[in-house]
Chains A and B, each alone.
Chain A
Amino acid sequence: MTGLAIRNVSMRFDLPGGGAVQALENVSLDIKQGEILSVLGPSGCGKTTLLNIVAGFLAPTEGVIELNGHEVHGPDAERGMVFQKGALFEWMSVRENVSFGPRMKGQRAAQYTQNVDHLLDVVGLQDFKEKAIYELSGGMQQRVALARCLANDPDVILMDEPLGALDALTREKMQSLVLKLWKETGKTIILITHSVEEALLLGERLIVMAPRPGRIHKEYNLPFADEGVDADLREVKKNPKFAEVREEILGMIWDMEEEIMGRTEAAQ
């Protein structure tokens, strides 16, 4: 059985002063091999917690994660991770960052050089491969992070707001790049984002989560990711269906935020 399965995952954090927070309650999800899934939700809905559980950085209080039929325990190279920022190694050049995974596996330069050069080409950093990380712009740094993740050839790529720290124009270019990489490599991708547009553009499937306790609120199957692979993303956004879904989801999240505010005020 291939693909990623999240089975009845619950997560409860005990608070130091007594009491507990139910970050996730009974979340179940099946993600097919090669699928790109985007996850949306207001702050505190547990989407980052879910990603950390899938990555293996957190153990769920209940439930299991299965990848290609085996249970997941702890982080592993089969599940690559792309962070918002600050996860690159400043003491290494671009090329050394990208070849980090293969090198840690004990591969020799001859084994990985070709693949690393190819990936640097794909993300458009061939001319920057000997540069230091701090010499690159934010967008270039995220390209390095993508290439570094791909160089390790993981089964699943987990992205935790990978474009959240970029300016709007760079972000659009990077969205196209993510779609291109998804189509070319056929990787399973889970993408967490705060941007509804980004979730719509990049998610073949989109999940809206609700907070307290964190749970799956609604699920969409969308055509925009497939359309966007070859087309200009701005054209995709002009689709009336796109605006319709966007408004629906925005309204949904808006209501959730309102409810949280109301509850907080009532508690006070």
Chain B
Amino acid sequence: MIPLLIYVGIFVVAFFAVRAVAGGIARTGFSSLKTVTFGDESAVTPDRRASVISILTLFFLWATFTGSALIPSFLHMPGPPLGLHTFEHTVQNAEGETDTATVTFLLFETEQDAEGNDLPDPEPPAVEPGEGFALNDSLIIEAYGSELARLQDNDELTRDDGTTIVAVNGQPISPGDRLDFSFGTISMSTRGSLNILPDQGWQMEPIWLPAPESVAVRFWDILWNGFRNFSLAEHLGYSLFRVVVGFVLGALVGIPLGYAMGLSNWFRGWFDPIVEFMRPVPPLALIPLVIIWAGIGETGKIVLLFLAALWIMAIAARAGVSGVNISKVHAAYSLGASKWQIMRHVIMPNSLPEIFTGARVAMGVCWGTVVAAELVAAEQGAGMMIMVASRFQNTDIVILGIILIGIIGFGIDILMRWAERILVPWKGRS
């Protein structure tokens, strides 16, 4: 909730700040003369300053909630109150006499050496035992953790002698109560022990969300040393290879199938039920069956992606054929073209825009499907990387994987759009 509020706040503040400092973006060309711009979609151009601030904001939120070293520490959200804290607890013995003793605890964060191994926990702070039947205590608590403290075990009189804790810092406490202090919360269990829950601050624990720099460090590490016996390029390359092979096979079968369905009654009748049935089945639902049939190796993945691309491409090609203006076909016949020439020179080029649209969709679906399939079972691949990493709670690798998957998916789409512009320049202009 707090990150969302901060995000909305930055959005609003940035909007007014940019307007106040630099003004709105100047409309250029014909749009500059339009008086009606609200409701005219063509007059809306993305404000690139907003894009930049938007991305910076995401990184800023990520950094500030993880205590990242990339931004100065005064911009960090408050973290756990590391260091020494003390409180007093009052113990009452069976005779009704009370004694007060001090508890000192060190709230610490586990540190790592250069190899990434955890360093041993620090020693508890040294304290004087103090007077009375209740003695002073000393303990360590790890940040984001809690401690069910056995404060009476070291006392002159223990719980076996009938002592109970009756107050913390002078405030009375009984089983089930919670008391708030500057360092966190203390609650009493039903059996009368104190549970110390130090404040966790607003930062995310690295296991939930690692800082940006640790993702970057991990990227560098995996880039050079690989992950699980395969280099990063191999992991991503395998995923891409599966997508490309599956998509190409799907297109090689699906496009002729779609043409046949668009040109022949028999083909249309034969394949219509199959295509219409298979189209709404998400490829992900086929993963278990494909694994049963073809195993978790390359064959299974490629079969799955083939199926994912097949129906999309068949439907796109069929739509391409049915989308041909009948005047074009009539004109070609009147110009003396044979059936094959009409296929080659009219129907095929005319269906290219539809096929490209289908190919873009199919590539997107294939990329999503391959990652999902690798999540289920694989020896290498982008999906396998994040799945294995999540099992070992390597959240940094999970995030790294998601970022790489997003970038590659975006790259594929850019590439398809570029190819579309080069190969079908007439799209949407006839």
A interface residues, Cβ below 8 angstroms from B = 55-57, 74-77, 79-81, 83-91, 100-101, 104-105, 132-134, 145, 148-149, 152, 154, 158
Tell me whether B387 is interfacial, beta carbon within 8 Å: no
Which A residues are in CB contact (< 8 Å) with B337?
Answer: 100, 104
Per the bound structure, the CA–CA distance linking A86 and B323 in Å amounts to 12
Known contacts A75-B334, A76-B336, A132-B425; is-contact A87 B430 (Cβ 8 Å): no
Interface-side segment among B43-51, B148-156, B292-300, B346-354 = B346-354
Asked if residues B336 and A105 are in contact (CB atoms below 8 Å), the reply is: yes
A-contact bits for B329-340, CB 8 A (1 contact / 0 none): 011111111100
| Distance between A124 CB and nearest chain B CB, rounded to angstroms | 21
Could you tell me if A89 and B335 are in contact, using CB atoms closer than 8 angstroms?
no
Q: Are B334 and A80 in contact (CB under 8 A)?
A: yes
- Chain A neighbourhood of B393, CB < 8 A: none
Are the C-beta atoms of B425 and A89 separated by less than 8 Å? no
Q: Are B325 and A86 in contact (CB under 8 A)?
A: yes
Given contacts A83-B330, A100-B337, 10 further A-B contacts (CB under 8 A): A55-B330, A76-B336, A86-B327, A87-B331, A88-B328, A104-B338, A105-B336, A132-B425, A133-B426, A149-B335
Q: Which residues of A contact B333 (CB under 8 A)?
A: 56-57, 74-75
Q: Is there an interface contact between A87 and B335, defined as CB atoms closer than 8 Å?
A: no
Complex-state Cα separation, A91 to B353, whole angstroms: 11
Given contacts A87-B327, A89-B346, whether A55 and B426 have CB atoms under 8 Å apart is: no
> In the complex the two chains form, is A91's CB within 8 Å of B426's CB?
yes
Question: Once the chains bind, are B345 and A75 in contact (CB under 8 Å)?
Answer: no
B73 sits at the interface (CB 8 A): no
Can you name the residue of chain A whose Cβ is closest to the Cβ of B341?
A104
User: Could you say which residues of chain B place their CB within 8 Å of the CB of A149?
Assistant: 334-335
Closest to B348 in A: A91
Contact of A101 with B335 in the complex, beta carbons under 8 Å: yes
- The answer to whether A57 touches B330 (Cβ under 8 A) is yes
B429 within 8 A of A: yes
Q: How far is the CA of A89 from the CA of B130 in the complex (A)?
A: 98
CB-CB < 8 A to B332: which residues of A?
A: 100, 104
Asked whether, in the complex, the Cβ of A132 is within 8 Å of the Cβ of B426, the reply is yes
User: Are A77 and B345 also in contact (CB < 8 A) when A87-B325, A90-B429 are?
Assistant: no
Enumerate B329-381 residues with CB–CB distance to A below 8 Å: 330-338, 341, 345-346, 349-350, 352
Complex Cα distance, B341 from A142, in Å, reads: 23
B345 touches A86 (CB 8 A): no
Cβ-defined contact, B331 with A83, below 8 A: yes
CB neighbours of B424 from chain A (8 A): 91
In the complex, 23 of the A-B residue pairs with CB atoms within 8 angstroms, ordered by the A residue number, are A74-B333, A75-B330, A77-B334, A77-B335, A80-B335, A81-B334, A83-B331, A86-B325, A86-B328, A86-B430, A87-B328, A89-B328, A89-B349, A89-B350, A91-B352, A101-B335, A101-B336, A104-B332, A104-B337, A104-B338, A104-B341, A105-B336, A133-B430
What residues of chain B lie closer than 8 Å to A81, measured between beta carbons?
330-331, 334
Residue of A nearest to B428 (CB): A134
- Bound-complex Cα distance A123 to B424 (A): 27
Q: Which of B327, B334, B341, B350 contacts A91 (CB 8 A)?
A: B350
When distances are taken between beta carbons in the complex, the residues of chain A under 8 Å from B341 are: 104
Distance of A56 Cα from B336 Cα, bound (Å) = 12
Contacts of A132 in B (CB 8 A): 425-426
